[in-house]
């Protein structure tokens, strides 16, 4: 009875550990191109679990796991980089003009708090605002388009002009990271920016924890890839040549004619890069049915993944894409713990 109880305990989805890691990871700024603090936290976590990590020259983190069949190596990827902004230039009034890192939904950024991170490590707080921010002053305050050219950062320092800002050490090309605003509700909803793709990073870390604690030997060798430039299209453009099959674990989209919800694991049949491997996708669907998971099969025409990048980079692989359903992608995102659990269970079935 005791052995059964232990096995049942470790076979369960580790909700508390997953949420604890996810909320910590979400709190670490990691706009694409500035991920070193998040990858250091990830490496520390994985090494505490008992894994050796490898950091590629580009900054991707990899973990190798030996399996029963060493002649086959499968890859699983998730990306640790997020959307963000960069200082394009310093305006004459001391505000900062912006350029995008990745594709944030810019109307949702108006009013967000942010950090301005200089090249010498100083961090200044600020607020992202429309350049006509007051209804009492500007006739078009409520109607002006909130695109990147009409948003600025107002720094929380006494600055009146460009020279005042430069004296702080702020210059063109400095990183701007905005507040994720993480909330986990009692009903199981996770509200935060950057669930794309830190939610899936947390799921893969949970899988690695399970493999170690349950002493599970996967069916094949595995390489877990945590990429750092996915949001700009080349996160996993290079993968180890021994990988013949890559499962990208990203996010499922919600809306329009899509079937995915915030409670499901999404299985993507096709995105902007084309269809994913037919047999591999079919196998994932069959496993989702066998595991009695809440899942959805969808097509995402305005979407790309690490698997897309690997295929575009010339990798001779089969590839597929799954992930938890995430609402309001690239804006103020939301998912549910059930979606993470369904994704976890599908991955666990896939690797075993």
How far is residue 65's CA from residue 80's CA, in Å, rounded to a whole number? Answer: 20
How far is residue 261's CA from residue 128's CA, in Å, rounded to a whole number? Answer: 30
Catalytic-labelled residue, pool 230, 231, 333, 341 = 230
How far is residue 295's CA from residue 131's CA, in Å, rounded to a whole number? Answer: 43
Q: Which helix (H) or strand (E) holds 44?
A: helix 36-49
Indicate the pairing of strand 151-155 with strand 189-191. unpaired
Active-site residue, 52 included = no
Instruction: Count CB atoms within 10 A of the CB of residue 188.
Output: 17
Tokens describing residue 185: 């509700």
C-alpha atoms less than 13 angstroms from C-alpha of 293 in its C-beta half-sphere: 32
Is the separation of the CB atoms in 54 and 61 below 8 Å? yes
Is the separation of the CB atoms in 317 and 243 below 8 Å? yes
CA dihedral 8, 13, 16, 21 (to 10 degrees): 130
Indicate the pairing of strand 295-300 with strand 265-271. parallel
Q: Which residue has the tokens 């960069």?
A: 86
How far is residue 3's CA from residue 11's CA, in Å, rounded to a whole number? Answer: 12
How far is residue 331's CA from residue 329's CA, in Å, rounded to a whole number? Answer: 5
Is the separation of the CB atoms in 225 and 53 below 8 Å? no
How far is residue 17's CA from residue 341's CA, in Å, rounded to a whole number? Answer: 12
What residues are labeled active site?
Answer: 230
């Amino acid at each position: 009875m005791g052995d059964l109880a232990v096995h049942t305990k470790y076979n369960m989805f580790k909700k508390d550990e997953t949420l604890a890691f996810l909320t910590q990871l979400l709190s670490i700024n990691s706009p694409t191109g500035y991920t070193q603090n998040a990858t250091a936290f990830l490496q520390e976590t994985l090494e505490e679990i008992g894994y050796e990590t490898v950091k590629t020259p580009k900054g991707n983190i990899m973990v190798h796991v030996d399996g029963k069949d060493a002649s086959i190596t499968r890859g699983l990827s998730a990306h640790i980089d997020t959307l963000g902004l960069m200082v394009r230039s310093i305006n004459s009034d001391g505000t900062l003009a912006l350029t995008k890192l990745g594709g944030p939904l810019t109307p949702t950024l108006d009013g967000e708090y942010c950090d301005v991170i200089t090249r010498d490590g100083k961090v200044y707080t600020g607020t992202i605002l429309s350049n006509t921010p007051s209804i009492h002053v500007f006739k078009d305050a409520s109607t002006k388009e909130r695109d990147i050219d009409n948003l600025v950062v107002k720094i929380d320092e006494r600055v009146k002009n460009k020279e005042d800002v430069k004296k702080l050490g702020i210059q063109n090309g400095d990183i701007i990271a905005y507040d994720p605003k993480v909330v986990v509700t009692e009903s199981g909803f996770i509200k935060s920016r950057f669930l794309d793709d830190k939610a899936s990073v947390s799921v893969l870390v949970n899988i690695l924890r399970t493999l170690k604690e349950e002493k599970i030997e996967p069916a094949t060798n595995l390489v877990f890839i945590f990429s750092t430039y996915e949001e700009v299209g080349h996160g996993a453009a290079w993968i180890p040549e021994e990988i013949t099959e890559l499962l990208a674990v990203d996010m499922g989209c919600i809306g329009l004619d899509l079937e995915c919800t915030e409670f499901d694991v999404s299985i993507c049949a096709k995105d902007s890069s084309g269809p994913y491997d037919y047999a591999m996708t079919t196998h994932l669907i069959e496993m989702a049915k066998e595991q009695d998971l809440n899942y959805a099969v969808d097509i995402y025409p305005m979407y790309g993944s690490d698997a897309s990048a690997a295929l575009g980079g010339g990798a001779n692989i089969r590839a597929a894409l799954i992930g938890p359903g995430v609402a309001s992608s690239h804006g103020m995102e939301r998912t549910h713990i059930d979606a993470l659990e369904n994704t976890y269970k599908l991955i666990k079935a896939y690797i075993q």
